[in-house]
Amino acid sequence: MLAHQYGKRHIQKQDFINITVLLAIAVGIGAYLIATTVIISKDGVFYIERAQQFSRDPIGVIKGHPFGYPFLIFAAHKLVCFFSNSSSIYTWIYAAQGVNLLCRIASFIPLYFIGKMLVGRGNSFWALLILAFLPYPTEFGSDAMRDWPAVFFLACGFWAILQAAKNRNLWAFGMGGICAGFGYMVRPVCVQVVAYGLVWLVYCLFRQAKTFSRRRILLATAVLVGGFLIPVTPYTAARGKILPDTLSKVIRSLASNKETHQPATIGMQIHPMTDKYNAGIQIRAVEAAGNLIEKAGANLMWVFAGPLVVGMYYHFRKTATQEEKLLMTAFIVFNVAALFLRYCYVHPDLTHRYILPLTVMTIFYIPAGLKLLGNWVVNRTRQSQVTTEEKSQRWFYTLLIIGLCICLPKLVRPIRIEKQGYLSAAMWLKQNTLSTDVIAAPDRRLFFYAERTGIIWQGGQVSERAGYLVKILKNRNQEPDSGKDMQKMYSCCVDKRNRKELLVIYKLL
């Protein structure tokens, strides 16, 4: 009895130490990236503007784009202003980045325990250490983006469903539903947590060795769905819509294509327009697959991509539990299918951000892959003075350190250092224009940082309201087509490494 209690305390203590180390590393790297950020993302400006609008028109914000992340920015900014008694554009920026970093740091806690359940405590620690050093996921956690807040709710919900599946705990299903509901208000894709719970319950219904009675399965379903509906019902009522906009676009696209391209048959022949449409979908699907592989490999800096595939294959064949096989397979299939649908029917582009959930939730298999690669090297070398286990450990640490060292140069690079020209131009506008001046620019960040009213300009005629025009020239001799007389006021290199590309400010006469 005493030995069992000591072992339990030791496990809890070791978990506490592991989590503390991971959080300290994540805080240090994240704070450094925030401090060195040159300029935030375009989406970050959009979220901050919606957060600023929240105090004036909360219902309008709720009815638009999912309001979860803008609301967190709004709340964080209120907290900052409470202590500092001042507000500026940078308090909004740091509030947005700080909330995102806080969610990234908090995500490491449920992720650690997910990894502990799937691959063991040691492998979970090493996997999250790798995640803490991966440049793209780390950058997303220090920029003004909603990806890590969504991952936080997704990880909490997935952890709850794993607990429910392993321990047959009804209340864990409810917690999974609640996490999915709050995550839905950040990114609707978090509804997938409910799908995983339902997949597990359907499996329990038809498995031979039933551990859940039909009554308990129905009760678990009600608790899971009810937990999801608690936060989502008032949100959808205020919004006036049930389905998220992206899913609505996919459904409309599928419906319109089905109506427009119905096979017109004469005998056994199919209308050529149908063949053309089907060929287009097949081409986009192939492009989506290539895009997915490219971005997923880049998220892992490619050096960890091979170990992940090897480790996952070995683990699923040898040691994975039935719960893990079912839920992780469902997770991968759901996310890959969602990415394909988005690419084919919404927008033909998959950025590194969209692959983030797949990267985060499969990271746990990399340490096993590194160990297998270490064993493979050991089996082909002969060093009689060192035991096989010691050599395998040495190779594991060697491969791990090599991978982390490959990540470091990109990791320590300031976020968007290549956009230094944007910030320089924005500062010139702030110092040399009136607060009432309207700026026409191809990127909203140029007038956001200048704290001026702005109009997005993509070429052609400039609005009569605009007093200044910002143009990015691909070469020094290029002249903008604005349809107005103008005077060149300021120019700078967009990127110091590419001096041919200029950012030029014109005063409209």
CA distance to 167, 175, 200, 201, 324, per residue, from 211 (Å) = 10, 21, 12, 11, 17
Whether residues 274 and 331 fall in one domain: yes
Q: Find out whether 100 and 142 touch, Cβ atoms under 8 Å.
A: yes
Q: Measure the CA–CA gap between 30 and 38, rounded to whole angstroms.
A: 14
DSSP 429-451: HHHHS-TT-EEEESSHHHHHHHT
354 occurs within a structural domain: yes
Within-domain flag for 306: yes
Question: What CA dihedral angle connects 199, 205, 210 and 215, to 10 degrees?
Answer: 110
Kindly report the pTM of this predicted structure: 0.90
DSSP state letter for 10: H
Together in a domain, 256 and 404: yes
Verify that 442 and 320 share a domain, yes or no.
no
Q: Evaluate whether residue 294 is within a structural domain.
A: yes
Q: Is 240 left (phi over 0), alpha (psi -120 to 50) or beta?
A: left
Q: How far is CA 145 from CA 68, 98, 104, 305, in A?
A: 12, 10, 11, 25
Q: Is residue 180 part of a domain?
A: no
Same domain for 470 and 376?
no
The count of other CB atoms within 10 Å of the CB of residue 502 is: 18
Final residue of a structural domain among 363, 380, 415? 415
Q: What is the edge-to-edge ordering of all strands in the sheet holding 438-441?
A: 453-456, 438-441, 468-473, 498-508, 486-495
Identify whether residues 431 and 405 lie together within a single domain.
Answer: no
Residue with tokens 């219902």: 59
User: What are the contacts of 107-111 at 24+ separation with CB within 8 A?
Assistant: 107/148, 107/151, 107/152, 107/155, 107/360, 108/19, 108/22, 108/23, 108/26, 108/132, 109/19, 109/23, 110/152, 110/155, 110/156, 110/158, 110/159, 111/155, 111/360
What is the enclosing helix (H) or strand (E) of 215? Answer: helix 214-239
CB 76 within 8 A of CB 99: yes
Q: What is the distance between the alpha carbons of residues 100 and 88, in angstroms, rounded to a whole number?
A: 19
503 within a domain of the structure (yes/no): yes
Compute the distance between CA of residue 158 and CA of residue 193 in angstroms, rounded to an integer.
6
Domain containing 354 equals: 249-415
Examine the domain organization and report whether 357 and 484 are in the same domain: no
Determine whether 118 is exposed, middle or buried from the number of CB atoms within 10 Å of its CB (0-12, 13-18, 19+).
buried
Whether 465 and 498 share a structural domain: yes
Same domain, 388 and 475: no
If asked whether residues 271 and 383 sit together in one domain, one would say yes
Using the Cα atoms of residue 43, residue 44, residue 47 and residue 48 in order, give the sign of their dihedral.
Answer: negative
> Does 482 fall in a domain?
yes
Residue 486 within a domain? yes
Question: Are 474 and 411 in the same domain?
Answer: no
What letter does residue 240 receive in the DSSP assignment? T
Least Cα distance to 363 among 121, 117, 134 occurs for: 134
Amino acid occupying residue 269: Q
Do residues 422 and 403 both lie within one domain?
no
Question: Residue 481 class from Cβ within 10 Å (0-12 exposed, 13-18 middle, 19+ buried)?
Answer: exposed
Structural domain contains residue 203: no
CB neighbours (10 Å) of residue 290?
A: 11
Q: Are 306 and 411 found together in one domain? A: yes
State how many domains the chain has: 2
Last residue of a domain, one of 380, 415, 450: 415
Please, are residues 367 and 380 in contact by the beta-carbon 8 Å criterion?
no
- In the DSSP assignment, the letter for residue 212 is S
376, 394, 415 - which closes a domain? 415
User: Is the separation of the CB atoms in 444 and 454 below 8 Å?
Assistant: yes
Q: Dihedral sign, CA of 254, 259, 261, 266? A: positive
Give the span between the Cα atoms of 360 and 177, in whole angstroms. Answer: 20
pLDDT per residue of the chain (509 residues) written in tens, 0 to 9: 434 443 454 458 899 999 999 999 999 999 999 999 999 999 999 999 999 999 899 999 999 889 999 999 999 999 998 888 778 899 999 999 999 999 999 999 999 999 999 999 999 999 999 999 999 999 999 999 999 999 999 999 999 999 999 888 889 999 999 999 999 999 999 999 999 999 999 998 887 556 778 889 999 999 999 999 999 999 999 988 888 878 777 787 777 665 544 444 444 444 444 454 455 778 888 899 999 999 999 999 999 999 999 999 999 998 999 889 999 999 999 999 999 998 888 888 888 999 999 999 999 999 999 999 988 888 777 655 556 677 788 899 999 999 999 999 999 999 999 899 999 999 999 999 999 999 999 999 999 999 999 999 988 888 889 999 999 887 666 655 555 678 889 988 887 666 667 899 999 98
